[in-house]
A and B are shown apart, each in its own frame.
Chain A
Amino acid sequence: MLKINNLHAEVDGKPILKGVDLTINAGEIHAIMGPNGAGKSTLSYVLAGRPGYEVTEGSATLDGEDLLALEPHERAAAGLFLGFQYPVEIPGVSNLQFLRTALNAQRKSRGEAELSGGEFLKVARAQADGLGLNMDMLKRPVNVGFSGGEKKRNEMVQMGIIDPKLAILDETDSGLDIDALRVIGEGINRIMRTPEKGVLLITHYQRLLDYVQPHFVHVLAAGRIVRSGGPELALELEREGYGAIAA
């Protein structure tokens, strides 16, 4: 599904990714861990097409389609979803209006029928309920005045509504209380753990992986994947730190 090959990227002329290789097949959940500043968020932004992140070498494809040649909204329509480490506040734009416009733009570009206001509200309500986010919060401006944890819940509600093929979730667990972590973990499994979808979880802690068990764990350090393994690798990291691996 996702194939990343020898990916190099720089920000403001500074090389950050230095040859990332990663393949995620349909039905697989991968976790990326790694020290602060390793380039994890950079990888997620490069895949989503954030301006200012320049790819200097390598390739990335989603189901054979060249991701790097697409605009950010086209990548979304192709099935890519990025859960932001720091979700953005947008005053004056209601969550519901924005999501309905976004979802319908995606459906339109895939040649699918647009959802009516009523149909959309049904989908939104189901996802908000499933993730414990009050419907009133979805009527408010995007993330404005949301607590850190509420922003992360909102990211997952958006993921549920959009129903992507591949989700890259950048530290979705940070800022969540213990109960929210469980709700979000179950939400990720419910929405994304299917044979035709894929997930890339970026996280610092095993606690999320207790709920969303990955098939593979990778360590990204200084812009490269320096080690890959099964779920046991996360436990080893938790015990021993990055010192021995990432040095």
Chain B
Amino acid sequence: MSSLPIPTAKQEAWRYSDLDAVASVWPTPPAEEIHVAAGESLVRVIAPEGGADAVVIADYVVDVAAGGRCEFFILNTVGRLGRITIDVTLHDGAHFELGGTIIGGGTQTLEIVTIVRHVEPHATSNQVVRSVLAAQATGSYLGQIAVARDAQKTDAAQSVKAMLLDRTATANAKPELEIYADDVKCAHGATVGELDKQALFYLESRGLPPAEAKALLLQAFVAGAFVDLADDAAREMLEGRALAALEALL
């Protein structure tokens, strides 16, 4: 059990959250701790299930030893609040990979919050997040990257794209860089867009009803977050559940 005081909107990591929902389950269980030994690799697939009223808060603290590799693939679609946080520490030459998808509608608040700590040289991280938001949903990706003074040759990339199906939906994409080394590559890209109207018309002109045309485009959009998942069965499971979540929005 966490003895921490209940979060407030003043804290950067909580400012877009649904604090009433948080209060209803506070204090949350302690974070799951994951250690990846030197040279080992680990893949985690996280896809919470639950009803519309569920409050899902799942925290992970990950330590990846030298030359290790850790991959997280997340499908965040469930509940009134769905919040997944990962705090990763990367040692010499370690790698962290995140493929995250947020799909939400109604008044859902869905969040992926990461802190990637490059504490030694040559560590790399790559984070890809795709969000599809409808109605009054709020989807947030808060991605902090901290590069320690002697973590030279750090390579940290973030690609964040959100698609809004309604003007009333909100996407937040906050990268936060804290860099104390000087030989560092950090690439960040964030876009918020709407469905390509030309592509939609092209598909519809071939006979696809609008909902199916949209589903096809959105499926392709979110698939970008799962392409690097090597386990075919796990990837198909995520894609299938993502499609079901998308169809529920259309």
Contacts and interface: CB of A to CB of B under 8 A. Distances in A.
B217 interface: yes
Contact of B205 (A82, A92, A101, A142): A82
A205 B166 CA distance: 44
A76 B205 contact: yes
Given A90-B220, A91-B220, A98-B216, A105 B205 contact: no
Interface in A41-97: 48-51, 71-73, 75-77, 82, 84, 87-88, 90-93, 97
A47 to B, nearest CB: 10
A102 interface: yes
A88 B199 contact: yes
Contacts, number: 76
A71 B210 contact: yes
A51 B207 CA distance: 15
Interface of B is mostly: helix
A105 B217 contact: no
A90 B217 contact: yes
B202 A84 contact: yes
A99 interface: yes
A172 interface: no
Contacts of A127: none
Given A51-B201, A101-B212, A105-B212, A77 B220 contact: no
A203 interface: no
Question: Max chain A CB contacts within 10 Å: which of B197, B206, B216?
Answer: B206
B7 interface: no
Question: Max chain A CB contacts within 10 Å: which of B202, B220, B221?
Answer: B202
B3 interface: no
B103 to A, nearest CB: 16
Interface in B209-229: 209-210, 212-213, 216-217, 219-221, 223-224
Given A71-B210, A93-B216, A101-B212, A76 B204 contact: yes
Contacts of A82: 205
Interface in B186-207: 196-199, 201-207
Given A90-B220, A92-B224, A93-B216, A103 B207 contact: yes
Interface in A204-231: none
B101 to A, nearest CB: 14
Given A88-B198, A90-B199, A76 B220 contact: no
Contact of B203 (A48, A98, A103, A141): A98
A48 B202 CA distance: 10
B240 to A, nearest CB: 14
Contact of A101 (B197, B208, B210, B221): B208
A54 to B, nearest CB: 15
B209 A92 contact: no
A77 B201 contact: no
Contacts of B207: 73, 76-77, 102-103, 105-106, 109, 162
B212 A87 contact: no
A77 B183 CA distance: 59
Contacts of B196: 88, 90
Nearest to B221: A92
A82 B205 CA distance: 7
Contacts of A48: 205
B203 A90 contact: yes
Nearest to A50: B201
Contacts of B199: 88, 90
A71 B220 contact: no
Contacts of B205: 48-50, 72-73, 75-76, 82
B217 A71 contact: no
Contacts of A91: 220
A72 B216 contact: no
B215 to A, nearest CB: 9
Interface string A176-207: 00000000000000000000000000000000
B223 A92 contact: yes
B224 A98 contact: no
Interface string A107-135: 00100000000000000000000000000
Given A101-B208, A105-B209, A158-B206, A72 B220 contact: no
The 6 closest A-B pairs by CB, nearest first: A92-B220, A76-B207, A106-B207, A102-B206, A72-B204, A88-B202
